[in-house]
């Protein structure tokens, strides 16, 4: 009986540790830039009205683990430079918006 309890506790805690911080890991493998991207993704998911009611408890459960994982990966975040396609397109769009804001609109006849 006690052996069965320890086995269940081990499986449950191992599952929680494996699933914990998944938002942080997904954010670091993607093109998200900045500090604490997993924690930011979790808070955005909690505040988003389109996030399902079934997902929000999982996000709440994942939030402290993502914060810990983001803290562990903080030196890497400060070191790396994001060269993903998404960040290059966003940078290009920002430069185009700066140029377009300086150019006066064309006069119509």
Q: Which pLDDT does position 19 carry in this prediction?
A: 64
Closest CA to 46 of 34, 31, 58: 58
Q: Is residue 76 part of a domain?
A: yes
Q: So what's the pLDDT on residue 1?
A: 65
Helices 22-29 and 56-72: crossing angle in degrees, nearest 10, is 60
Q: Is there a domain that residue 71 lies in? A: yes
User: Residue 79 is part of which domain span?
Assistant: 19-92
Digit-coded pLDDT (tens) for 27-58: 777 766 678 888 888 888 898 888 888 888 88
Backbone angles phi, psi at 23, to 5 degrees: -65, -35
Residue 2 lies in a domain: no
Number of domains in the chain: 1
**Does a structural domain hold residue 9?**
no
Low-confidence ranges of the chain (pLDDT < 70): 1-2, 15-20, 31-33, 81-84, 109
- Identify the pLDDT of residue 83: 65
pLDDT value of position 59: 86
Q: Which of 19, 101, 24 is nearest to 68 (CA)?
A: 24
Q: Is residue 1 part of a domain?
A: no
């Amino acid at each position: 009986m006690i052996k069965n309890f320890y086995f269940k506790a081990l499986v449950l805690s191992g599952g929680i540790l494996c699933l914990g911080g998944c938002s942080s890991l997904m954010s670091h493998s993607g093109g998200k830039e900045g500090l604490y991207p997993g924690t930011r993704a979790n808070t955005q998911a909690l505040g988003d009205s389109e996030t399902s009611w079934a997902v929000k408890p999982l996000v709440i459960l994942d939030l402290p683990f993502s914060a810990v994982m983001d803290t562990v990966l903080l030196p890497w975040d400060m070191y790396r430079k994001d060269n993903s396609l998404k960040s290059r397109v966003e940078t290009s769009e920002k430069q185009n918006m700066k140029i377009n804001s300086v150019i006066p609109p064309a006069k119509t006849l």
